[in-house]
């Protein structure tokens, strides 16, 4: 939950608003808790400068 709260703070959003945004953006077969974990991981990886998707090998 700490990562989610930090993500919301950085974006200037209420926690509930961020959760609603993640909920509306995720694919239907994925449950909300998994979508939140993926969103926080993507955010954390982006903040660290690590690539979040794809490969930088090309």
pLDDT tens for residues 18-57? 999 999 998 778 899 999 999 999 999 986 655 555 544 4
Looking at the 3D structure of the chain, how many domains does it have? 1
pLDDT at 17: 97
Half-sphere exposure of 38 (CA within 13 A, CB side): 12
The whole domain housing 23 covers 2-47
Cβ–Cβ under 8 Å, residues 46 and 32: no
Q: In whole angstroms, what is the distance from residue 54 CA to residue 1 CA?
A: 26
Residue 43 belongs to some domain of the structure: yes
pLDDT digits (tens, 9 = 90+) for 1-11: 699 999 999 99
Interior/surface letters 10-40, b for 16+ CB within 10 angstroms, e for the rest: eeeeeeeebbeebeeebeeeeeeeebbeebb
């Amino acid at each position: 939950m700490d990562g989610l709260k930090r993500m919301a703070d950085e974006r200037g959003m209420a926690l509930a608003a961020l959760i609603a945004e993640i909920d509306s953006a995720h694919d239907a077969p994925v449950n909300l808790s998994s979508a939140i974990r993926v969103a926080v991981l993507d955010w954390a990886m982006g903040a660290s400068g690590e690539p979040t998707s794809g490969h930088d090998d090309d």
